Amino acid sequence: MSSIPAIIMLLVTLSMLVYKDNYNGEGKLTDFFIEDATPGTGHILVNADPSDFTMDITNGAITGGVEGIIERNLSTPLLIEEASATPKFPSDDLTELKSQVLSKGVSTMVVPTSLIESDEIRFSFVIDGNRFSVKNLSPITWEKGSQYIYTIRLSGTSLTISQVTIAKWETELADDLIIY
């Protein structure tokens, strides 16, 4: 019999750590979105009908789902931190970076995908009531059992992906995550 952590390891964790660098606003993040920037690529799948989007827990095969937008509304807004050198934020150390993501970032689970080309995925964030977006800069394949940490810089009125860190997904004790 498979355990819940083993089942979840068939998915991918996407984590985003947004930080301020020359941004004058308060930095209150209330919502985030992940979507296909190029319609028809089918990288972001959602369940229009839960009975039509399933995973076989014996082999991880996923069937159904429709291309859509992952939208998350934060029940408690997150205040984005300013970049700093001491202590280093965002950190270059993987253990510290994961800790920063857990306390100051956002995460969601997605279905593993085939190759995602440059500019095919859009990450959007509502910060201080304004929607900011950025697309992936380079090709990537989101592989099951991995955590992809996107470090994203908010400067002025634009977002840029400053780094993508790929790590083995480790379970963390945190609040419940609702899967849609």
* pLDDT digits 0-9 by tens, 38-95: 888 888 888 777 667 787 777 777 887 888 889 999 999 999 999 999 999 999 999 9
Residue 172 has pLDDT above 70, yes or no: no
Query: What pLDDT sits at residue 60?
Result: 75
Across 96-127, b (16+ Cβ under 10 Å) vs e yields ebbebbeebbbbbbbbbbeebeeebbbbbbbb
CA 46 to chain centre: 14
> Omega of the bond prior to 5 within 30 degrees of 0, cis?
no
| Residue 3 confidence (pLDDT) | 47
Q: According to CATH, what is the number of the domain 4-168?
A: 2.60.40.2630
Phi first, then psi: give them for residue 128, nearest 5 degrees: 55, 35
Give the integer Cα–Cα distance in Å for 104 and 85.
17
Question: What are the φ/ψ torsions at residue 96 (nearest 5 degrees)?
Answer: -70, -40
pLDDT computed for residue 99 by the predictor: 94
Q: For 135-167, what is each residue's pLDDT tens digit?
A: 999 999 999 889 999 999 999 999 999 999 999
Residue whose token pair is 């990537």: 140
Is residue 1 predicted with pLDDT exceeding 50?
Answer: no
Q: Is the pLDDT of residue 2 over 60?
A: no
pLDDT given at position 68:
86
pLDDT at 42: 86
Average pLDDT over residues 2-29: 82
User: Domain segments of the chain: what residues?
Assistant: 4-168
